[in-house]
Amino acid sequence: MSKKVLILPGDGIGPEISQEVNKVLVQVNQQYSLDIEFEQGLVGGAAIDQAGSAFPEQTWQQCQAADAILLACVGGPKWDSLPPAERPEIGGLLQIRSRLELFGNLRPAILYPQLADASSLKPELVSGLDILIVRELTGGIYFGQPRGIRVNEDGVREGFNTYIYNENEIRRIGKVAFETAMKRGKKLCSVDKANVLEVTMLWREIIEDMSKDYPEVELSHMYVDNAAMQLIRQPKQFDVIVTGNMFGDILSDAAAMLTGSIGMLPSASLDITGKGMYEPCHGSAPDIAGQGIANPLAMILSAAMMLRHSLNMAPVADKIEAAVEAVLDQGLRTADIYSQGSVKVSTQQMGDAVVAALKK
Ligand code: IPM
Ligand code: MG
């Protein structure tokens, strides 16, 4: 039976990297007779410009009809002066995540040996690095109500957000984390700020309670400030990290740099049934958009995750990942992962090289 994939190129570097992902998917579709149907949709600033809102009704329909969604990135200075709820990030990306209930965000940070030089840490600290950050994606301070900017009694403006998790939300993401840990190194570190924030005191209590059901998993807890430090001090101590929405956002960027570049990091955002949206961890990088220098590999690797997790095509995902390794072996690097002695390539050349490696 044919599978439907919805591609949402979004903004900034999104369209350029999506084009390369598209090439890769067209290639595997043909090469392995996958019978995948592709469709494109509008989200973010592009959707505001063309359809009047960051997450138009038509895109919502397309999302529901799709077996999996591949999203590039959204946002840019052009839309930064809109009211918060209408902006590409809140009105587009957060809306999709929330309406599709994609609460489980898996962000693997793996160091490709070929890129050890590109890491900001010494090679011995990062060689063999393989961390998985499980980030809660549809709750916490990103979504808590009330939120806003108001004028207080003294006539002074104040901005406010609400950091809230209920125990069901914590259990739901905790389950993903424990189960993922079971399939990996059986080590789970839950990151919170339980020395200060009640919401994470509850978080810690629930995760601790859940650990009784997973006696094989070695559970530890860490405050987020320490976790940030440990990620840079000795990143290989981690296997799986589970944390809330905002801490996960921050720690996954830090973890990205350990692997050389955020341009290499894919992610999967899954609902309770495992249906998902796949997105690179990076943003829309408006400063380099349109120059043909963005790294398409995070999104190509996100497509591989999609084939594996949502489309039941793990062997093809393996092929794409092997093709990415092959181009790295050839010394091809986009600007973000370039180091002396390697060959600097454009976005398009990188996509072409992955396709060529697949054909071999
Ligand atoms: C991410 C991004 C988004 C987030 C932005 C673009 C809203 O930084 O996916 O990590 O904060 O979740
Ligand atoms: Mg982020």
| Residue 253 annotated to the active site | yes
Nearest Cα residue to atom 11 of ligand 1: 249
pLDDT at residue 285, as a whole number: 97
pLDDT at residue 274, as a whole number: 86
For residue 67, give the DSSP letter.
S
Burial of 243 (0-12, 13-18, 19+ CB in 10 A): buried
Task: Compute CA distances 144 → 35, 86, 98, 133, 138, whole Å.
Answer: 41, 17, 12, 22, 10
Cα(247) to ligand 2 centroid in Å equals: 10
Q: List Cβ neighbours of 16 (8 Å cut-off, separation of 6 or more).
A: 289, 290, 292, 294, 296, 347, 348
Q: Is 183 helix (H, G, I), strand (E, B) or coil?
A: helix
pLDDT at residue 63, as a whole number: 97
Which stretches of the chain score pLDDT less than 70?
none
Q: How far apart are CA 274 and CA 340, in angstroms?
A: 41
Secondary structure tally for the chain: helices H, strands E: 12, 14
Task: Compute CA distances 304 → 60, 90, 192, whole Å.
Answer: 23, 27, 31
Ligand 1 pocket, Cβ-based, cut-off 6 angstroms: 75, 89, 93, 249, 281, 283
| Residue 193 annotated to the active site | yes
Ligand nearest to the CA of 98: 1
Cα(263) to ligand 1 centroid in Å equals: 14
Q: How far apart are CA 344 and CA 91, in angstroms?
A: 36
Q: How far apart are CA 148 and CA 125, in angstroms?
A: 42
Kind of pairing between the strands at 104-110 and 157-160: unpaired
The alpha carbon of 329 is separated from its chain's Cα centroid by a whole number of angstroms, namely 25
Query: Which helix or strand (DSSP H or E) is residue 105 part of?
Result: strand 104-110
Task: Choose the catalytic residue: 11, 67, 249, 336.
Answer: 249
Nearest Cα residue to atom 7 of ligand 1: 89
Cα(37) to ligand 2 centroid in Å equals: 29
Atom of ligand 1 nearest to the CA of 97: 12
pLDDT at residue 328, as a whole number: 96
Nearest Cα residue to atom 1 of ligand 1: 281
| Residue 329 annotated to the active site | no
Q: Which of 43, 70, 93, 136 has most ligand 1 atoms within 8 Å of its beta carbon, as the pocket-test mutant?
A: 93
pLDDT at residue 305, as a whole number: 96
